[in-house]
Structure 1
Amino acid sequence: MLIGTQKINYALHGVQEYWIVDVEHETVEQYLLDGNAFELSQKLKDGSLESEVISGFRVAIREIFSQP
């Protein structure tokens, strides 16, 4: 998990969105910059997640955790 100073650095350097992939619980959290702080936008275990920053980038959650 990102600690406070990492989140602040992300915001100061123009990061608008980041995702945290939790392999233990097989979830993906999407955080979006809202003003000067990041807010949890979604936490998904299934379905698909679409970037708010990279146009057209979408990934199915099951693809992230599928074994080769």
Structure 2
Amino acid sequence: MRKKHHVQVGQVYQAVGAANGRSWRVRDTIDLFGIPHARVVSTEDEGDSKTLSCLILSDTGYYRMIEAAPAAAA
């Protein structure tokens, strides 16, 4: 079974198998037709963005988190 986790704003992901591939930072989360999605932007070019299902983004068979969300400011 693949490990799943909660997608949070600020987390950075990279596609599995893309060792030197682009990484994506979660900008915000939305519900589309009742399904949670994340809007992500490229860490190299913030003009490059896409929307991914949180189920796919959190599935370690497809994406891996390479940077956790920053801690909330006190």
Task: Please confirm whether the aligned pair reaches a TM-score higher than 0.5, indicating the same fold.
Answer: no
User: If you compute each CA radius of gyration, which structure gives the higher value, 1 or 2?
Assistant: 1
TM-score, normalization: structure 2? 0.30
TM-score, normalization: structure 1? 0.32
